Structure formats: structure tokens, C-alpha cells
Amino acid sequence: MNLALVYDRVNKFGGAERVLLALHEIWPNAPLYTAFFDKQGASWADDFTVYPSFANAFPFASRRHELYSWLAPFAFESFNFDGYDVVLSVTSAEAKDILTKPEAIHICYCLTPTRYLWSGYYEYKRNPIFSAFLSLFGSTLKRWDLYFSSRPDVYIAISSLVKERIEQYYHREVSAIIHPPVDTETFVPSNSIRPRYLPQEYFLVVARLVPYKRIDLLIRAFNRMRLPLVVIGNGSEASYLHKLAGSTITFIHEKLTDEKLLEYYQHCDAFVFAGEEDFGIAAAEAQSVGKPVIAYRRSGIADIVTEKTGVLFDDQTEKSIIEAVRMFQNKRFDPTECRSRALKFSKHAFKQNMRSFISKTKKSFRL
């Protein structure tokens, strides 16, 4: 199969980049096309053949892509995909905007419809920097994004929630849900003694400290319950969240080694999350080490957690979180059941599902 990969921008490392690495293991010769490429900031891509667009040559574009976000649709339209059987775009923004010829099938692995235009629109409108921009250009950008959303031949969603968003905002049918890969080989249960630097008991959240993750709700709820909560992550809300936090809240902003992060997962009472997550890699990692999860039901995490592996709450309120924690405290969860659930989202499962789906879709496309 002659296949090309397309991704919005190659300049950092996160969940989407793990997807690309897993895809690279399936199709190691597939080149990666992107609007913006920062080689120093994306060392994970050293084994890829990366083709950045013309927009990457603009001053500071590789590291400050947001300065040229208006150019991204034109950047993706400039690529030539002649000779490819399949073009697989991995995107939460503009990579779906590419143009392909009728003989090539364009499959979009959608992480979420462009967040600042759709599901996160009003959240971004509350930000003083984005508010004026969206007031001026939001309607036009929505029309563009809706128009470009018609270009993929096939959509794959990363979760049931993202499937709903694609159908709601883009009015497109989703052919499959294929969950992102979880590193179940690294995130394993432990019978070791709790390291001295860890609290005896604590709940855990691992996330970027940005508004839509709703770490503020967790802090307010745990303040009221006076239960220990460890918050691992950094972001624009760090200062604000510190001001909210009471004496039972502990922040860890520095980048932890994989070994230390694993230990925090392994020895927590439960992983907690209150945001509307697209999927929820961190929650799946917690399940992979055998830990239960307490999370907001209206989230991709609902695809991960069952009543045997955690508690889902219905409202993004302190009261709902407190009730869920109390319910958790009155139940017992089997670590083996949690681990078993996580294995359904392993990298092996992802690769098998993706390879099978694309192979079948390519064959049917040719008929």
C-alpha cells in the first residue's frame, strides 16, 4: 500500500504524536506531510521523512505556528499526493484540508473537530486574546472549516464523543471508532513498596492546566472534602489554580521521569478527571496500572471506564464530583479488571484495528 500521512503541525510531543509513531510502525515508509515542522522540538519524528509546507519558511513559523494559522489551509492545499493509494490525515485542525485525486482515498483520523471553532468556541471566547479574533473571523472560519470537512472520503473518530461532534458539526457519517494507542507495556501494575516521597493516600490527576480540563472543579471539590489530591501538569491556569488550592492539594509542575510518573499512577487511590476529554489517554494509563477512574460522563473517558473499573458522574459541578468520590469510597474495584479493560486500548490493538480498517476500506473504494 502506497500511503502518506498528514498531520497539522510537527513541533511538540503528545497524544497525537503517539498515534503517528504507532502508524509509523505499521507503515514505516510512509512520508509525513505537515504545515509546520520544528525539527528540534519534534525529535520523535527523526525516523520519519517529513515534508513541511511552504508556510514553514516564514519567520518563526516552525515554533510560532499560530502566527500563520490563517495560512494553514493554503499550505495543505499546496501538497501533491499523486501516486498515493491512501492519504491518512491525523487532525484536530487543518490537515483534512488537503486535495486528493479521485484515484486516491483520503481517510481522516479525526482527533476532534477544530476545537476553538466548535466544541470549545465559547471557552475560547472567554479568553481576552481569542475573543476579539473570534468575534471578527469566527463565522468565516466556521464556514471554511465546514467546507473543508467535506474533503475526506472517510472519517474515523477517536471516541464516541468525537463521533458525535463530527456528526453534529460536520454533518458527516463516521465509519469507525478506533481509540488511540495506550502504552500498556510501560504502565503496568506494581506490588512494590510505596516510595517515601509519595503520600500514604491520594487521588491523582495528570493533565495540562488549561481551562477546559476543569482542574478548578476538582480542586474546589477536594478542598471541601479535605482529601489529598496530587495535580501533575503545567499550563496557563497554574497560578490561578494555586490560589484556589487548600492544604490538601499538591502540585507537581516539573517534567517527571517515566519511572516517577509511573509510581504516582501505581500508588494513587484513583485517577480523577472533570473535563470533557476527547479520549483520555491518562485515564487509560491509570486503568492500565490497575487503578479505578472517577470521571465526567460526557467525555471520551466514558469509552474507557465501566461500572467495574470506575465511577462516572453526570454534571460538571463540585457536588457531582463529591458524590462520585463518596460512591467510589463505598465500592471495591479489582485491579485485574481495570488492567484488563485498558488492554483493549493497547498499541497492539490500535495497530491491528487501523491496519484492518484501512485495508478493507481501500479494497471497497476500488470496487
pLDDT at 366: 66
| Distant-in-sequence, close-in-space partners of 215: CB < 8 Å, separation ≥ 6 | 205, 207, 209, 231, 233, 237, 241, 274, 275
Asked if domains 3-113+149-181+347-366 and 203-343 share a fold, the reply is yes
Per-residue pLDDT, 30: 98
265-314 pLDDT per residue, tens = 999 999 999 999 999 999 999 999 999 999 999 999 999 999 999 999 99
Per-residue pLDDT, 353: 98
The pLDDT, as a whole number, for residue 367 is: 54
pLDDT of residue 1: 83
Rounded CA gap, 6 and 55, in Å? Answer: 15
> Burial code of 338-349, b = ≥16 C-beta within 10 A, e = fewer?
bbebbeebbbeb
The yes/no answer on whether domain 203-343 falls in CATH 3.40.50.2000 is yes
Crossing angle for the helix pair 281-288 and 335-343, to the nearest 10 degrees: 130
Q: What is the reported pLDDT for 191? A: 82
pLDDT at residue 312, as a whole number? 98
| Per-residue pLDDT, 363 | 92
CATH number for the domain running over 3-113+149-181+347-366:
3.40.50.2000
What pLDDT, on a 0 to 100 scale, did the predictor assign at position 130?
83
Beta strand residue intervals within the chain, DSSP E? 3-10, 32-37, 50-52, 86-91, 105-110, 154-157, 176-177, 203-206, 229-232, 249-252, 270-273, 293-296, 310-313
For the chain, the structural domain boundaries read: 3-113+149-181+347-366, 203-343
Residues 6+ apart with CB under 8 A from 197: none
Q: What secondary structure letter does DSSP report for 360?
A: H
Q: Express each pLDDT in 30-80 by its tens digit.
A: 999 999 999 999 999 999 999 999 999 999 999 888 888 889 999 999 999
179 to 86, 106, 284, 352: CA distances (angstroms): 20, 19, 11, 11
pTM score above 0.85: yes
State which H helix or E strand residue 140 sits in: helix 128-148
The three-class DSSP label of residue 330 is coil
Contact partners, residue 340, CB within 8 Å, separation at least 6: none
Residue 192 is predicted with a pLDDT of: 84
What are the helix (H) ranges across 149-280? 160-165, 215-225, 238-244, 258-266
Q: Which residues of the chain have pLDDT under 70?
A: 366-367
